[in-house]
Structure 1
Amino acid sequence: MKIEFAPLNIPLRRRLQTAAVLQWVFSFLALAQCCLAAYILLALSDWWIAAMLYAGWLWLDWDTPSSGGRRSHWVRSWTVWDYFRDYFPLRLIKTEDLDPKKNYIFGFHPHGVLVAGGFGNFCTEATGFSRLFPGLKPHLLMLPFWFRVPLFRDYIMCGGLVSSSKSSLSYLISRPEGGNVAVIAVGGAPEALDARPGALTLQVRNRKGFIKLALKHGWVELIKGGCSSWWSCEPCTECVSVCVSVCVSRAQLVPVFSFGENELFDQMENPAGSPLRTLQNRLQSIMGVAMPLFHARGVFQYSFGLVPYRKSIHTVVGKPISVVQTPCPSSEDIESLHRVYLQSLTELFEQHKHTYGLEEHQHLTFF
């Protein structure tokens, strides 16, 4: 294989961009293992008392990832994330203002291999989330497994990552003060196995857990003394006495599509039914994480490696879908809202696909 080496006269700015992305790839693929090894070595050394003290802290802090996490504005604002943003580059596009008095579930699509758009837009301030959506705090949901790794869990929580457990999502979208955004990569690990350039296949037809929780924490319909309204915590002359008791739970669904997310890496051919795909599915069912065999470019050459390609990512945040609260949603309720969500996601994609380089014949496929 002919190797295409990078030129020697690359500007320092671009080298810093590559370094920023390289450390992100390392954090995603190997930092957890390094943190676990460091903790074990600490426990076996003369500093074992520090490891025991941390274990005590871990026990006391065990539920934090399921209770909103522990974000750090300082970490989210590191300069390294600006270089990370400019490498692709990465952009966040707002289509409509969002009320900071409400809570939201962002359905992020597609998952991609490493969720670069989800991380850059919602776990850092590099693309200006707080400026575009003042009063809202984004939380990217991640598998609970990673929050059991010592030290690593504390680092990822600083960026706004929280557990993807049902209790964690319920905690975020049930806050009466509003202002929380739960970002879910709906396709999850199985969708990562289909992430390759040109892919527009989304694993979403059987993903309805977030729909059910949205219904449980949707809008409250208030009826008292002849007053009927969709309650939004605004003063009501006829219902003010009931305001405190009923205006406690509200959430809306928002489809989000990240154009360019699947263009960052190539992946070995693994069609459904192939031995490789069967093995990947088996490992995913056992460990809960996907094992895509991906590759892109290297640091000093462009022919192979694990550094993503320099491809633009445009993450478009769609319009919110109002959800009426249904404490015990039926299958029909879930199916109905799910259809509305898929329709909104399709409209968002079709409306913006030409702007970001896709052709008229390209459409989303749901599985």
Structure 2
Amino acid sequence: MKILGIQFAPWRIPWQRRLQTSVVASWISTFVFMGLGGLLLLAYLLLFTRFWWVSVAYAGWFWYDKDACNRGGRRWQWVRRWQLWRHFRDYFPVRLVKTCDFSPDENYLVGSHPHGVLCAGAFCNFCTEGNDFSGTFPGITPHMLTLEGNYSQPFYRELFMATGGVAATKRSMEYLLSLPTRGHMLVLVVGGAPEALMARPGVSQLYINRRKGFIKIALRFGVSLVPVFHFGETDVYTQVWNPEGSRLRRWQEWLMHYIGLAPVLFLGRGMLQYNFGIVPFRRPVTTVLGRPIPVQKSADPSQQQIDELHERYKVALKELYDTHRHKYALDPTVELEFK
């Protein structure tokens, strides 16, 4: 049904699909609004109600707990197993493809590509049990590495750490890889904020040529590297046209330099119509985990060692993409580009 050019959702949609849309809308709303909303709520309680002590108590807790994201986080398995994550999975749907087994006696450093706008595939597969990660990879504990700034947002930080999120900092990675236990899988979205600005349907561009810090960490700890590609990740949103060199892109890059986050002007659909909104489109996302790349430990790796391993990683990532694109990519003719 169209009214004034806006295509509305049919009235007779199965309840299950409406539930899936509601769950995904709640997820994106949490990401966009929960931090600021929590801050405004605490300010309101402090300044205008007799429950000022709630704000003071949370501020004390935040100060005491502020470094938890660099010390392994605070995973709550019951949050990861919430039934709503299965509705989240089925909305797109998101799938997880296993190409080999992973030993619980080793640690792994995963490079997650591409970033897309909001990492829907990485979140579903590594931050929840929506696709039964624990059953698929027994003995492996995933840790999603994200910007440290995400853990400065009240209430949102508690939710994200509960799903297994930790800070994407050198200190956080060193802490996890130094633990006496094994089976830790550190999942790093290598392209980060710059790659988010490239995300748009029909494009497979990865910001990786200058990202070598994770390679150095892998060499220092002798931890295997694992390339991962999320087919369809860049198809779930469009964004305002921002080619390199444009005024908008320059403004976004300037702002990103100061706040650390990518100010992506993304476009999705709404709850009841398909033309505009912040809800992602229903497009399949398939996460394929490649084979681990063995890394020989070097306490003080040279630049040559870093560069050589970086090239090996890029070759393995391209092989992974080329092997599976004809099966999982929306447009298998799109070539992978490294920026």
> TM-score over 0.5 for the alignment?
yes
The 3 A distance-change label for structure 1 pair 167 and 195 is same
State the distance in 2 between where 1:357 and 1:144 align: 31
Aligned to 2:170: 166
Q: Aligned partners of 2:42 and 2:297: how far apart in 1?
A: 45
Q: Is the 8 A contact 1:103 1:175 kept in 2?
A: no
AA of the residue aligned to 1:9: R
The aligned amino acid for 1:29 is V
Q: Is the 8 A contact 1:173 1:181 kept in 2?
A: no
Report which stretch shifted further, 276-285 or 60-69.
Answer: 60-69
- Structure 1 unmatched ranges of 5 or more: 219-250
Q: Is the 8 A contact 1:93 1:314 kept in 2?
A: yes
**C-alpha contact (below 8 Å) 1:143/1:164 kept by paired residues:** yes
Structure 1 residues 350 and 89: alpha-carbon distance in aligned structure 2, compared to 1, 3 A threshold = same
Residue 101 (structure 1) aligns with: 105
The answer to whether the 8 Å contact 1:105/1:173 transfers is no
**RMSD across aligned positions (CA):** 1.2
Describe the SS at the equivalent of 1:354. Answer: helix
Deviation at 1:168, TM superposition (A): 0.5
The match for 1:253 among 225, 233, 245 is 225
Residue in structure 1 matched with residue 305 of structure 2 by the alignment: 333
| Equivalence for 1:48 | 52
Kindly indicate whether the alpha-carbon contact (under 8 Å) linking 1:92 and 1:314 is maintained by their aligned counterparts in 2. yes
Match of 1:30 in 2: 33
Aligned AA for 1:66?
Answer: N
Compared with structure 1, are the counterparts of its residues 299 and 171 closer, same or farther at alpha carbon in structure 2 (3 Å cutoff)? same
Residue 289, structure 1, aligned to residue 261, structure 2: yes
- CA contact 1:103–1:174 (8 Å) conserved in 2: no
| Runs of 4+ that moved beyond 3 A | 357-361
With over 3 angstroms needed to count, the CA separation of the structure-2 counterparts of 1:304 and 1:54, relative to structure 1, is closer
Which structure would you say has the larger Rg? 1
Q: Give SS of 1:176's match.
A: coil
| Residue in 1 that maps onto 2:196 | 192
- Retained in 1: the 8 A contact 2:30–2:156? no
- Shift of residue 154, structure 1, vs aligned partner: 1.1
How far 1:257 sits from its partner (Å)?
0.2
Distance across 2 between alignment mates of 1:144 and 1:271: 28
Structure 1 residue 361: Cα displacement? 4.1
Write the distance in 1 (CA, Å) between the matches of 2:116 and 2:330: 17
Q: Deviations over 1:307-365 (max 9, x none)?
A: 11110000000000111111111110100110010011011001101111456643210
Structure-1 residue corresponding to 2:291 = 319
Q: Distance in 2 between matches of 1:210 and 1:94?
A: 23
Q: For residue 215 of structure 2, what is the aligned residue in structure 1? A: 211
* TM-superposed deviation, 1:53: 2.4
Unaligned runs of 5+ in 2: none
How far apart are residue 178 of structure 1 and its match? 0.8
| Alpha-carbon distance in structure 2 between the residues aligned to 1:348 and 1:198 | 18
C-alpha distance in 2 between matches for 1:24 and 1:151: 14
> Does the Cα contact within 8 Å between 2:31 and 2:156 map onto a contact in 1?
no
Partners of 2:305 and 2:42 in 1: CA distance: 47
Q: CA deviation at 1:59?
A: 2.3
Aligned position for 2:15: 12
1:299 has 2:271 as partner: yes
